[in-house]
A and B are shown apart, each in its own frame.
Chain A
Amino acid sequence: MAAPVLRWSCPARRWILANIDRGPRHGRGSPTGSRSSGKRGQSSVAQQPLATAQKPRKGEHQWAAVVGLEIHAQISSNSKLFSGSQVHFAAPPNSLVSFFDASLPGTLPVLNRRCVEAAVMTGLALNCHINKKSLFDRKHYFYADLPAGYQITQQRLPIAVKGSLAYSVFVGKNRNQVINKTVRIKQIQLEQDSGKSLHDDLRSQTLIDLNRAGVGLLEVVLEPDMSCGEEAATAVRELQLILQALGTSQANMAEGQLRVDANISVHHPGEPLGVRTEVKNLNSARFLAKAIDYEIQRQIEELENGGEILNETRSFDCKLGCTVPMRDKEGKQDYRFIPEPNLPPLLLYDSASLPAGADPQQVINIDQLREQLPELPRVTREKLVQQYGMLPEHSFTLLNEVGLLEFFQNVMKETRAEPKRVTSWVLNTFLGFLKQQNLAVSESPVTPSALAELLNLLDQKTISSAAAKKVFEELWRSGGKTPAQIVSEKRLELMQDQEALEELCQATMEKHPQVVMDLKKGNPRAINKLIGLVRKATLNRADPTVIKEMLERQLSS
């Protein structure tokens, strides 16, 4: 699938078109063809600009993209938002369904305290204003996985508003220049999750599993302050880390605990915003950035061809790598919002407004929750930089990889090695091996203790760097043995006997007078040859630096 050549640099927010190659793209039958303007098809091919070969004038074809996100995070709680049935991933179908979840008439919603606390904590962590009074509403639409025919949500007055999420993108050749960005949080609201429908095309039937129906969700709405897929993906990652640190959501995209919808539009800088499309259910971290960037590209092409963007809903087809319109979302939906009459307004208190003698079981104190907030990722990273002197990008990597920070901290506990060395080994060697074999930290054959022991041997100069790498490989392969065992088995210990080494140096120099001659003549590579020879003689058990030093001393005397 040939893609047009588009140049943009993100996050500088410039999408510059150059050398538009139009041919092959039409050939593949663009999925947007039938829905977009009638001007497509022949006319756009005929419209090949004469200026294809020329570079566009500066500023002429610049595009800016605008991306907003609606993120749904499943609240980590024992029971659902309005009913007492349990919340479990992958339970047998329809085994976690109460009468209320199945919408049996006569059942009424009862608000789950833990879910409210989760919403408040998340709001506080995202610098939001917590609304002391918030309201619940019904959002109506007919769908098989929505038993009541409406979802209870917070449309008029959500629990938290006007916050911000800070994230960092890394740019530059080595991706080590950090740019700090912020995206505004429009609001956070509590709402119900729907059930799941499984389409069985073979038997022309749809199977409904209501286990998920009624599970509490936090909807976090991010304003359109982002400009490309990478920014969006980074912001989402940071939100995931925050939710996980708070414990309010496990935010695992693969398990459906975090779902992202993106609102995307493009425009020329300085002109008003363009028509936006909604790309729904971006359920994998991998495809999030890809899907958004594809959609931006698609819109630019469409507009460049003289077409128009429809305010429609699309989904990302990960096999084809493109967004496609969602057929059952055609036409505008009127959700016929009404206030939820079975739930009184949700009132929250702070220490100042807490009524005297209030039953602590019945009230939520925002100040108390604020005091109890756990450490947020940003603070954890700052501490790592300060405590261990590591580079900021390293602190990001440590947190971004699930389980890596804990691994690192466990190694630090058991080793005397310098933090910088530990960091390097964990982020380069250890992480490198994991990535190569596509393993998670939890699946690592090397334990923190083992690595710590290895680093101690290195630190004590019992083994050389090169030897350490070999030991690590062996640890990875065999798992069961300790570093000390491997070192002795493979006879990797550095020679400790200085005198013997001195003698070897002497002997080597005597055996290879020619090389010594070369060296005295001033050939810089001769020393390396000598070092190599000595090393060989020691069966690689001597540190080259030490050998070099010895040789130089002996030569000068």
Chain B
Amino acid sequence: MGKTNLDEFAMGSGSTDGVFGPVKNPWSYSKQYREKKKQKPHGENEDTNWLITGGSSGGSAAAVSAFTCFAALGSDTGGSTRNPAALCGVVGLKPTYGLVSRHGLIPLVNSMDVPGILTRCVDDAATVLGVLAGHDCKDSTTVQDPVKSFILPSLTDVSKLCIGIPKEYLVPELSSEVQSLWSKAAKLFESEGAKVIEVSLPHTSYSIVCYHVLCTSEVASNMARFDGLEYGHRCDINVSTEAMYAATRREGFNDVVRGRILSGNFFLLKENYENYFIKAQKVRRLIANDFVNVFNSGVDVLLTPTTLSEAVPYVEFIKEDNRTRSAQGDIFTQAVNMAGLPAVSVPMALSNQGLPIGLQFIGRAFCDQQLLTVAKWFEKQVQFPIIQLQEIMGDCSSVFENDLASVSLKQ
């Protein structure tokens, strides 16, 4: 078992704000990327332009992407598993809320958090889900019924499938490459006989703001326990309890976390509660209903982009603050958390720069198996290339001599 790096307290979409430093995307060192960039393989000690993994579970995504492990766990509160999965070219699954126990998961937003699963192929994700899913008496928000582990069928006929394309997800900030891959994927389903229709999720534009209010509010509450008294960092100040708390929390939290706590506490003040928290919960209900309505109209699975673009260089990414980047990074993913639905990011193709681009499938609540079945079919169709890291692996190149179509848990 290994531990991986992340944004501090899972707050961020770059995995750049952790106390151990930022996470580097393995694709920065891939042959595919470097060829396009026309860089020499062993860049003369130049490692200044490496790319971010996305976040917040970037360390886990990088570990899976770089063949360090077969599977890794992350967390997904607003997209923190799917986002780095897309940018690192791996499968990132967010199960239905309540399917997998949160006992042991350090809470960010209790009503949206789920443990996320990162693997190199959809079958592996299904295997891990089968192990983790089901009732846990230590988590009162898990489903009561036990869940049997399952093997995904290999779908050959998609003619009975209905794929929905939410029109509100076509935003101006979406890169042209991602947009064209999204269209290509829709046409792929259509050409194989599936019904592909445009649908509407009318409250999409309110989603990110609503998410921000609810997220910071729960964060403010969940972070109240970090006072250095029972565990964790404690400052040296002994003057009084209040002084000790204040210094401990100032030292122990980074700016991002402190910013969210302050915002959250603001929204929860008596005079603001109705206008912010309650309002946001009401809007959340509307957003969740948007999905329900679409699924009730015969759609099986929704197809959307996962991210706005491929991975960007770290030096570019840090030009904007965490809050801005999070809003951008989470744009396609957080509505799913608010609705508690299952979603999976599947790598589709490489961009013109040789970097992975993934697409997101969103399913009905507790229909994770169906969702993964569709994802598996898609994965087989697109045959996403394996990352080529031979040149930096040196002696380990023998590992890649065999044609590994999918280095999976089953082998």
In the assembly, what is the distance between CA of A336 and CA of B216, in Å?
13
Whether, in the assembled complex, B64 has its beta carbon less than 8 Å from a beta carbon of chain A, the answer is no
* Contact present for A343 and B229 (CB under 8 Å): no
Q: Which residues of A contact B (CB under 8 A)?
A: 102-111, 138, 140, 142-144, 147-150, 204-206, 208, 210, 334, 336-338, 341-344
| B residues in contact with A344, CB < 8 Å | 140-141
17 residue pairs from A and B, CB less than 8 Å apart: A104-B230, A104-B231, A105-B225, A105-B226, A106-B107, A108-B103, A110-B137, A144-B241, A147-B225, A149-B221, A149-B225, A150-B221, A150-B224, A338-B217, A338-B277, A342-B110, A343-B140
Contacts of A149 in B (CB 8 A): 221, 223-225, 227
Closest to A105 in B: B106
A342 near B241: Cβ-Cβ < 8 Å: no
The closest CB in chain B to the CB of A102 belongs to: B230
Interchain CA distance A104-B140 in the complex, whole Å: 17
Task: Pick from B103, B241, B265, B273: contact of A107, CB below 8 A.
Answer: B103
Instruction: Flag whether B105 is at the interface (Cβ < 8 A).
Output: yes
The residue on A at minimum CB distance from B144 is: A362
Assess whether B139 is interfacial by the CB under 8 Å rule. yes
Is B111 part of the binding interface, using a Cβ–Cβ cutoff of 8 Å? yes
User: Is there an interface contact between A106 and B104, defined as CB atoms closer than 8 Å?
Assistant: yes
Cβ distance A474 to chain B, nearest Cβ, rounded Å: 59
Known contacts A105-B106, A208-B229, A110 near B224 by CB under 8 Å: no
In the complex, the chain A residue whose C-beta lies closest to that of B224 is A149
Most chain-B Cβ atoms within 10 A of its Cβ — which of A144, A205, A338? A338
Give complex CA distance A68, B359 in Å: 61
Complex Cα distance, B139 from A107, in Å, reads: 8
Please indicate the chain A residues that have their CB under 8 angstroms from the CB of B105 in the complex.
106
Is the Cβ of A341 less than 8 Å from the Cβ of B231? Answer: no
**Contacting residue for A341 out of B111, B137, B230, B270, CB 8 A:** B111
Q: How far is the CB of B124 from chain A (nearest CB, A)?
A: 25
- Selected contact of A206 from candidates B111, B218, B241, B270, CB within 8 Å: B241
Given contacts A110-B137, A149-B221, A336-B270, 11 further A-B contacts (CB under 8 A): A103-B230, A104-B230, A105-B225, A108-B103, A108-B139, A110-B138, A140-B268, A147-B229, A149-B225, A341-B109, A342-B140
Total contacting residues, chain B, CB less than 8 A: 37
With A149-B225, A206-B241, A342-B140: A105-B107 Cβ-Cβ less than 8 Å: yes
Render B134-171 as a binary contact track against A, CB cut-off 8 A, 1 for contact.
Answer: 00011111000000000000000000000000000000
Q: Cβ of B102 < 8 Å from any Cβ of A?
A: yes
Minimal Cβ-Cβ distance residue in B for A359: B144
A110 to B217, CA, bound (A): 22
The reply on B269 being an interface residue by CB < 8 A is yes
Asked if A336 and B269 sit within 8 Å, CB to CB, the answer is: yes
Q: Is B366 among interface residues, defined by CB-CB distance under 8 A?
A: no
Which B233-266 residues have a C-beta within 8 angstroms of A?
A: 238, 241-242, 245, 265
Instruction: Tell me the bound Cα distance from A342 to B141 in angstroms.
Output: 6
With A144-B229, A144-B241, A147-B230 already in contact, the answer to whether A338 and B221 are too (CB < 8 A) is yes
Distance in angstroms from B343 CB to nearest chain A CB is: 20
Interface pairs A-B: 3 shortest CB-CB: A149-B224, A341-B110, A336-B268
In the bound complex, CA of A334 to CA of B220 (Å): 14
Contact A138 B107 (CB under 8 A): no
Chain A residue nearest to B136 in the complex (CB): A108
Tell me if B241 and A103 are in contact (CB < 8 A). no
Main secondary structure of the interface of B (DSSP, over half): loop
> Could you mark each residue 66-108 of chain B with 1 if its beta carbon is under 8 Å from any beta carbon of chain A, else 0?
0000000000000000000000000000000000001111110
> Hey, which chain B residues are within 8 Å of A140, CB to CB?
221, 224, 268
- The residues of B with any CB-CB pair to A shorter than 8 Å are 102-107, 109-111, 137-141, 217-218, 220-227, 229-231, 238, 241-242, 245, 265, 268-270, 273, 277
Contact among A108, A148, A210, A343 with B225 in the assembled complex (CB-CB below 8 Å): A148
In the complex, what's the smallest C-beta–C-beta distance from A97 to chain B, in angstroms?
Answer: 9
The answer to whether A110 and B140 touch (CB under 8 A), given A206-B241, A341-B218, is yes
Alpha-carbon distance between A210 and B230 when the two chains are bound, in angstroms? 10
Q: Which chain B positions have C-beta within 8 A of A102? A: 230-231
How far, in angstroms, from A345 to B326 measured CA to CA in the complex? 32
Let me know if A103 and B107 touch, CB within 8 A. no
B231 (CB) vs chain A CBs: closest residue: A104
Residues on A with C-beta less than 8 A from B137 are 110
| Chain A positions within 8 Å of B141 at CB level | 108, 341-344
Whole-angstrom distance between the Cβ of A401 and the nearest chain B Cβ:
43
**Hey, which chain A residues are within 8 Å of B139, CB to CB?**
108, 342
**A142→B242 CA distance, assembly (Å):** 8
Please determine whether A106 and B227 come into contact, CB atoms closer than 8 angstroms.
no
Q: Which residues of A contact B138 (CB under 8 A)?
A: 108, 110
- Across the two chains, which residue of chain A brings its CB closest to B277? A338
Q: Which residues on the B side are within 8 Å of A103 (C-beta)?
A: 225, 230
What separation, in Å, do the CA atoms of A338 and B220 have in the docked complex?
11
Interface centre among B105, B140, B265, B270 (most CB of A within 10 A): B140
Q: In the complex, are the beta carbons of B229 and A109 less than 8 A apart? A: no
A98 to chain B, nearest CB (A): 11
**For the complex, what is the distance from the CA of A105 to the CA of B110, rounded to whole Å?**
11
> Are the C-beta atoms of A142 and B245 separated by less than 8 Å?
yes
Q: Which residues of A contact B245 (CB under 8 A)?
A: 142
Residue of B nearest to A362 (CB): B144
Q: How far is the CB of B138 from chain A (nearest CB, A)?
A: 6
Bound-complex Cα distance A393 to B227 (A)? 54
* Complex CA–CA separation, A149 to B225 (angstroms): 5
Contacts of B217 in A (CB 8 A): 338
Tell me the minimal C-beta distance from A71 to chain B in angstroms.
25
Q: Judging by beta carbons under 8 Å apart, are A108 and B102 in contact?
A: yes
Chain A neighbourhood of B230, CB < 8 A: 102-104, 147, 210
**Contact residues in B for A111 (Cβ distance below 8 Å):** 140
Bound together, the chains give a CA A107 to CA B225 distance in angstroms of 12
Bound CA span A342–B269, Å: 21
A105, A138, A208: the one within 8 Å of B221 (CB): A138
Alpha-carbon distance between A150 and B109 when the two chains are bound, in angstroms = 15
Distance between A335 CB and nearest chain B CB, rounded to angstroms: 8
CA distance A149 to B223 in the complex (A): 8
With a 10 A CB-CB cut-off, give which of A104, A109, A210, A336 has the most chain B CB atoms: A336
CB distance from A262 to the nearest CB of B (A): 24
Cβ–Cβ < 8 Å partners of A334 in chain B: 269-270
Q: How far is the CB of B211 from chain A (nearest CB, A)?
A: 15
Nearest B residue to A103 via CB reads: B225
In the complex, A110→B135 CA distance in Å?
13
- B268 near A338: Cβ-Cβ < 8 Å: yes
Contact A142 B224 (CB under 8 A): yes
Nearest-neighbor residue (CB-CB) of B103 within chain A: A108
Complex CA–CA separation, A402 to B259 (angstroms): 56
In the assembled complex, which residues on chain B have CB atoms less than 8 Å from the CB atom of A105? Answer: 106-107, 222, 225-226
Task: Report Cα–Cα, A93/B245, bound state, in Å.
Answer: 23
> Inside 8 A of B270's CB, which chain A residues have their CB?
334, 336
Q: How far is the CA of A491 from the CA of B111 in the complex (A)?
A: 83
Nearest residue, chain A, Cβ from B246: A142
Closest Cβ–Cβ distance, residue A347 to chain B (whole Å) = 13
- Inter-chain CA distance A342–B113, complex, in Å, is 11
Given A102-B230, A147-B230, A338-B277: A109 in contact with B140 (beta carbons within 8 A): yes
Q: With the chains together, A285 CA to B217 CA distance in Å?
A: 42
Say whether B140 contacts A142, CB under 8 Å: no
Q: Name the B residues within 8 Å of A108 (CB-CB).
A: 102-103, 138-141
Which A residues touch B241, using CB under 8 A? 143-144, 206
Q: How far is the CA of A251 from the CA of B242 in the complex (A)?
A: 33
Chain B residues with Cβ below 8 Å from A338 are: 217-218, 221, 268, 277
Considering residues B217, B230, B238, B273, which has the most beta carbons from chain A within 10 angstroms of its beta carbon? B230
User: Given the complex of chains A and B, what is the CA–CA distance between A110 and B138 in angstroms?
Assistant: 6
Provide the bound-state CA to CA distance between A336 and B217, in Å. Answer: 10
In whole angstroms, how far apart are the Cα atoms of A208 and B223 in the complex?
A: 20
Roughly how many angstroms separate A143 CA and B218 CA in the complex, as a whole number? 19
Which residues does chain B contribute within 8 Å of A150, judged by CB atoms?
Answer: 221, 224
Which residues of the other chain, A, contact B220 by a CB distance below 8 angstroms? 336
B87 to chain A, nearest CB (A): 27
